[in-house]
Amino acid sequence: MRVTRLPRDPGPAGWNRILPPPDPPDLLRDAITADWLIVGAGFAGLAAAHRLAQLAPGDRIVVLDAVRVGDGPAGRNSGFMIDLPHDLTSDDYGGAVSADVAQTADNRRGIALAGEMAETYGLDPEAFAMTGKINAAATARGDAHNRSYARHLTAMGEAHSHLDAAQMLDLTGTRYYRGGLFTPGSATIQPALFVRGVARGLRSNRIALHELSPVIALERKGVWVATTPRGRVSAPRVVLAVNGHLNSFGHMAGRLMHVMTYASMTRALDPSETARLGGAARWGVTPADPMGTTVRRVSGHGGDRIVVRNRFTFDPSMEVSDRRLSRICRAHDAAFAARFPMLDGVQMQHRWGGRLCLSRNNVQVVREIEPGLFAACCQNGLGTAKGTLAGALAAELALGIDSPALTRARQADMPRRLPPAPVARIGATAHIRLAERRAGDEL
């Protein structure tokens, strides 16, 4: 089976660009055999490799990725590993709460696993830190959303606290926010530093990881045979950890939604600028309205910078043009100027976009899709935690090791079918536009 489409990520992965250049890539150049092949070196693929190395020591594990580690979506995100569901459900404190509790437990297992990898592979503290998370509110509507969210947290028995405008100012240096909702269970990562560090750790654990080695065909000839432009891997068991590119391998056609979101990162601030900005050296806020702007202030590798993320577009082709990227990123300049008037004149150095894969019914695809072919895909936009768990669960599924999380994953429905393509495109685009307009100053 030929792989119909290879990943193309718009713009440079800023988080990766501010790190020292990586070692030269190790392309697959031979025909090799392995016990396991993992396709994709994002959160899911790296976690699958880590878990397999733990559970099947001595097995030969090969990981292939089309791009450099840290250049794909895993190195392009805002770095929030979130434990709580985005939208806590309804006032039905019966079944709905128990579903939210189960989802939270699963996300926390993903975060714990990421923490374990950070420790095992000796990652820099900037790569992974248990920081908690603040949902920042800029508007009365955002504030009301935070208060309603807090009521659901109380029903779940989850710790949380409110920050007022003065506390938000102390933390962020900006007067833009009227309040915030802090929850302690999330982690924050420097995404490229994290995935590159885990990849380095896996290699030192004798796992072969070949970058710039896209799988262009995958066939079952007794064992699975994956072909790359210069080599071939034969393995009885394969984990597809390619998120939305599961479609490109011929699976879940018409069931996955491909959405892009976008980020911009300033150049490094100089000491006079950080003094004008004030606030803490490192912080991050997610928007109270999910369609709003995520902001991070970073300090470490690459200096002191601000990163903003907003806007979504529905892109079934999984690609966007450079022209569209620069048009969309104007929303970043507006969000930055509104929040940081004291940094007037500071330019963005890196702008990029990245792919998300969603399903209409918010389910992941963690299952054996053909004999010996396992999927750990469709992370519904929260792949740092959910992808990490999905990869580990795919490894456990392949080895027949059961757990409550795996049972939940196996019992999940199939992603619900999308309407016919033109209807899906018009419907999804209109929905996103309307929701973004409603977000108002949260954007």
Ligand X SMILES: Cc1cc2nc3c(=O)[nH]c(=O)nc-3n(C[C@H](O)[C@H](O)[C@H](O)COP(=O)(O)OP(=O)(O)OC[C@H]3O[C@@H](n4cnc5c(N)ncnc54)[C@H](O)[C@@H]3O)c2cc1C
- Chain positions contacting ligand X, by CB under 6 A: 3, 6-7, 39-45, 64-67, 72-74, 76-80, 214-215, 241-243, 245, 261-263, 309, 354, 356, 379, 381-385, 387
Minimum distance, C-beta of residue 131 to ligand X, in the bound complex (Å): 12
CB count within 10 Å of CB 94 equals 8
Q: In terms of CB distance, is 160 or 311 closer to ligand X?
A: 311
Minimum distance, C-beta of residue 189 to ligand X, in the bound complex (Å): 9
Q: In terms of CB distance, is 13 or 163 closer to ligand X?
A: 13
Q: In terms of CB distance, is 150 or 390 closer to ligand X?
A: 390
Provide the β-strand partners of residue 226. 218, 233
Minimum distance, C-beta of residue 40 to ligand X, in the bound complex (Å): 3
Map residue 187 onto helix, strand or coil: strand
Q: In terms of CB distance, is 62 or 241 closer to ligand X?
A: 241
Minimum distance, C-beta of residue 210 to ligand X, in the bound complex (Å): 9
Q: Which two tokens stand for residue 417?
A: 């079918």
Map residue 64 onto helix, strand or coil: strand
Q: What are φ and ψ of residue 238, in 5° steps?
A: -130, 135
117: left (phi over 0), alpha (psi -120 to 50) or beta: alpha
Strands laid side by side in the 80-81 sheet: 80-81, 187-189, 128-130
Closest CA to 131 of 116, 119, 115: 115
Minimum distance, C-beta of residue 71 to ligand X, in the bound complex (Å): 7
Minimum distance, C-beta of residue 331 to ligand X, in the bound complex (Å): 13
Q: Which two tokens stand for residue 33?
A: 């055999």
d(CA 319, CA 391): 25
Place of tokens 């300049």: 333
Q: In terms of CB distance, is 41 or 269 closer to ligand X?
A: 41
Q: What are φ and ψ of residue 315, in 5° steps?
A: -135, 85
How far is residue 175 from each of residues 20, 113, 123, 358, measured CA to CA in Å? 34, 36, 34, 34
Q: In terms of CB distance, is 149 or 312 closer to ligand X?
A: 312
Q: In terms of CB distance, is 77 or 183 closer to ligand X?
A: 77
Minimum distance, C-beta of residue 282 to ligand X, in the bound complex (Å): 15
Q: Which two tokens stand for residue 52?
A: 């397999």
Single-letter amino acid, residue 156: M
